[in-house]
Amino acid sequence: MKRVRRSQVEIEGKLRERTEVVEEDPSPPWDDRARLRVAGRPHPRLDGRAKASGAAIYTQDVGLPGMLHARILRSPHACARVLSVDASAALALDGVRAVLTQENAAAIPWYGGTTRLLERTVRYAGDEVAVVAAEDEETAEDALHLIRVRYARRRPVLDPGTAPRGGKPSVYTRGNARKAVSGAPVVVAGSYRTPAALHQAFETHGSVARWEGEHLTVWDSTQHIFGVRKELAAALGLPLHRVRVISTFMGGGFGAKNECGKYTVFAALLARRTGRPVRCLLTRAEESLAAGCRHATVQTLRLGARRDGRLLGIEHRSLCDVGAYGTDGPMPVGGPARTLYRCAAVRTEEVPVRTNTGPHTAFRAPGYVEGTFALERAMDRVAEACGLDPLEVRLRNYSPGDPRGFRYTRKGLRECYRIGAARIGWRRRARLGRRGTSLRGLGLASQVWPAGGAPPSHAVVKVNPDATAEVLIGTQDIGTGTRTVLAQIAAEELSLRARDVTVLLGDTGAGPYSLLSAGSLTTASAGPAVRAAARDARQQLEELATGLARGKGGRPGPREVCREIGDAMVIGRGARGPNPEGLKACSFGAHFAEVEVDAETGEVRIVRYVAVHEVGRVVNPLTASSQVEGGVLMGIGFALLERRIEDPATGRGIAVDLLDYKLPTALDLPPIEVLFVPGADPRATTIGAKGLGEPPIIAAPAAIANAVAHAVGADLPELPLTPDRVLEAIARGRRAP
Amino acid sequence: MPEARTPKKPRRARGTKSAVHLLLRVNGEDREVTTAPHRTLLETLREDLGLTGTKHGCELGECGTCTVLVDGQPILSCLALSADYEGREITTVEGMADGAQLHPLQETFADLGAAQCGYCTPGFLLTAKALLEEKPSPSREEIREALAGNLCRCTGYLKIYEAVEQAAARMREEGPRGGR
């Protein structure tokens, strides 16, 4: 039975009040006493062979008969008025079938209505100006050079420090933070900066669109098939049932593929105009300019503490460079300051500022990675000021509940500290020092992330006559292993092996609604829905067994029931139940890094890394450990290498390829130890699991910065920790008393 | 990225007017292709021959995603002109398996979680195949070195190393099989 309630939900670190329609899930939660055979054990990806054989079809691989190829013309100017667009020469080129410009494209509102699909004002170098569809990519590319555009250039705004406000600041207060900090015996103040960073998924954004009469099918590299369906239908004025979005395999998203892109609408419009299927894929340069970023932050932070290290007040203000169009407001950079430590007086403020740069989007733990870096850097400085060990300061400020006034379903951060400190050998910290030109340091950082999932998510389980099963669900597997994890959950409930279950996902035409795959939502949202549907199917089988037993004598087992009923198959249905009232479900973690800094070159080498997480039950330890290893390496990239760079005068992207935008390679991988705090969190979800998508990246830059600061004996106020900045810190450390 | 400034003299369409006829040997089969003379091997494999296992990553030879083997050596197919590869033995991920029997590397990549989103996997597989053919017992350091030109954004590389090591062990035990 569905019912309506008011509830608070925290998605991507943003707490929102909403009216939700919920459906009770009567499944008794799998707690620590539950004897599970499949869920909770390592299982190879069920689609591993499809991927390793090259058979898996990604959006980029979709080829349809008669398909045209679209390419986008982008503004070279960061701020300009488009005076005219003349596409006649492009249209005359052999092989060009259509050109969309502001003159002939529908005025579809975009970026929350702040602009249109193709507009007269371009606001960043990379903004869309026109689109060509041609017989092949090369012809489309050639045609772009033939489009004559006249621009009236304006001076772009590029410095977030002086940029205008881009919307309402997001303010949170408890107690009087200013008074608490100012009156504290120990005050640590600092300014911390983090750069804009690019997701750089290897499959670039892209869509293939095909019309069949009134019906539109779109293959899209997306983290939210139902979200794309909704936005695309609205953009084109179509009823939902005529739009189908498919994403069977996708090559990474990391938050940049949460929404419908302009390229999707371009493909659909051009396909309608030409009567041919149209493919529109971004190049790597476009991916770097126009496909979203982690927004840059300038954070000012003041912590007030007693001499024993206990926090009295936290003031945190962040300027968030949301770029030219960011529609989702600033990311929750103050989230860690609000929730990581026990502190009665806290004020956080996230101020969006607008520059003429590419729009920002969510990027794996948006806000929390940046905010954790600043807060955990400052916590180490509190420890130093009080003459305490950094771990001890964190334990003294440990908050068993959410300090905003909620209880947690479970909080295993203390165990994370204990396990991690033992593994890395934290006690050695005081003895580490300089050996020749090599400076050693040990650092740690803590992590919190709302990861309990949420409704709505629905699933259907079909049980076949041979006692195998299919799960239908409108979620998507963005590479994390969702197919496998959901199969394990269904198999557990149906007493099958995981490989007796096929999960059909990534198709709005096949499975019922499930949430977007972002914010560590998927396992904790889709998982319980699948379990509920499988449980419904099992109960139906049990009832049928009773009926069949009357005629036969013995009570048949589930396998016999399936055979007996044959094609009159059992179909189970389930929904993700509501979250518990008044409780918050978060994932926790502590990361420990040991680094070696070369005092002559400023180079940082990570010698050892230990990542400990508490996420409730780990449904699949194999895919979970991949998730952590990859998240840590992505965090290492953000700590040491990655930043989006624009020319400060023109705003044009400089590092728009993978040579200049530095991603971690195989040679940058340190020895990483991945550990999980054992035990389920049955109050969070019926499967006892919480999310793990974002947690692995959150603490990594902070842990590394703290280790480097320990090694060099000075604060590190800006990421990435490039050699020049490290050398500068070493010089400051020498001057320090 | 193309930028809209003063247009140059209109150029003739490249893709639709001129064409070359090539005889390529791909995965042990002779394939005739009629294609544009400037087409890269990556585009010919994907667009002309429908071998979409080889993926697009950066188009500039920076990520290794498009790696294929030519006469057993890994090359970046996005930087190679198809017309230069007539008469050479080209191997793509589709050519690694022996019928339904996957190459040991494909098995260990699938089983040990080395393929996460899977998009960079074909490139890694072919680079690793070339490595193991040259060095049947590579050290972890040699694996790191050999794979350093292939980027992965999901896995963190560790499971990829483990998969290569386990495949190497399996191939030493079982002797050569599968693949070409």
Residue pLDDT tens, chain B, 180 long: 555 544 444 444 444 458 999 999 999 999 999 999 999 999 999 999 999 999 999 989 999 999 999 999 999 999 999 999 999 999 999 999 999 999 999 999 999 999 999 999 999 999 999 999 999 999 999 999 999 999 999 999 999 999 999 999 999 998 755 444
Provide the pairing of β-strand B89-91 with A604-614.
unpaired
Contacts of A75 in chain B (CB under 8 A): 4
Backbone angles phi, psi at B8, to 5 degrees: -80, 180
Please say whether the beta carbons of A199 and A55 come within 8 A. no
pLDDT in tens, A572-625: 999 999 999 889 999 999 999 999 999 999 999 999 999 999 999 999 999 999
Please say whether the beta carbons of A575 and A529 come within 8 A. yes
Is A163 within 8 Å of chain B by CB? no
- Residue A73 forms beta bridges with which residues? A130
How far is Cα A479 from Cα A487, in angstroms, rounded to an integer?
15
3-state secondary structure A493-538: HHCCCHHHEEEECCECCCCCECCCCCCCCHHHHHHHHHHHHHHHHH
pLDDT at A550: 67
Chain B segment 115-144 residues within 8 A of A by beta carbon are 115-122, 125, 144
pLDDT at B180: 41
Is B20-95 a domain of CATH 3.30.70.100? Answer: no
Is B9 within 8 Å of chain A by CB? no
How far is Cα A616 from Cα A618, in angstroms, rounded to an integer?
6
Count of alpha carbons within 13 angstroms of residue B104, beta-carbon side: 21
Q: Say yes or no for a CB contact (<8 Å) between B57 and A658.
A: yes
Two tokens, residue B67: 């790696």
Residue of A nearest to B66 (CA): A202
Give the long-range contacts of residues B175-178, CB within 8 A, separation 24 or more: B177/B98, B177/B101, B177/B104, B178/B96, B178/B97, B178/B98, B178/B101, B178/B102, B178/B103, B178/B104
Give the number of other CB atoms < 10 A from CB of residue A433: 12
Q: Which of A449, A171, A203, A480 lies closest to A315, judged by CA? A: A171
Q: Say yes or no for a CB contact (<8 Å) between A145 and B54.
A: no
Task: Domains for chain A: give ranges and CATH numbers.
Answer: 25-58+453-575 (3.30.365.10), 62-155+200-290 (3.30.365.10)
Please give the torsion angle defined by the CA atoms of residues A27, A32, A33 and A39, in that order, rounded to the nearest 10 degrees: 60
Residues of chain B with CATH 1.10.150.120: 104-173
Backbone angles phi, psi at A527, to 5 degrees: -55, -55
Which of A58, A142, A663 comes nearest B11 by C-beta?
A142
Establish, for the pair of chains A and B, how many residue pairs have beta carbons separated by less than 8 Å.
245
Q: Say yes or no for a CB contact (<8 Å) between A148 and B110.
A: no
Count of alpha carbons within 13 angstroms of residue A254, beta-carbon side: 29
Provide the pairing of β-strand A109-110 with B20-26.
unpaired
Structural class in CATH, domain B104-173: mainly alpha
Is B77 within 8 Å of chain A by CB? no
Contacts of B92 in chain A (CB under 8 A): 54
- Number of residues that this document lists for chain A: 737
Please say whether the beta carbons of A295 and A255 come within 8 A. no
How far is Cα A229 from Cα A243, in angstroms, rounded to an integer?
6
How far is Cα A262 from Cα A291, in angstroms, rounded to an integer?
10
Q: Say yes or no for a CB contact (<8 Å) between B102 and A478.
A: no
Is B92 within 8 Å of chain A by CB? yes
Helix pair A700-712, A368-386: axis angle to 10 deg:
30
pLDDT at B1: 52
Q: Say yes or no for a CB contact (<8 Å) between B38 and A138.
A: yes
Q: What is the mean pLDDT of each run of 10 residues along chain A (737 residues)?
A: 85 84 93 97 97 98 98 98 97 98 94 93 98 96 97 95 91 98 98 98 98 98 98 98 98 96 98 98 97 96 98 98 87 98 98 96 97 98 98 98 97 98 97 92 98 96 97 97 98 97 97 96 98 97 88 79 91 96 95 98 98 98 97 98 95 93 94 97 98 98 98 97 98 80
- Residue A122 forms beta bridges with which residues? A80
Q: Which residue type, as a one-letter code, is found at position A452? A: G
How far is Cα A214 from Cα A183, in angstroms, rounded to an integer?
68
Residues of chain B with CATH 3.10.20.30: 20-95
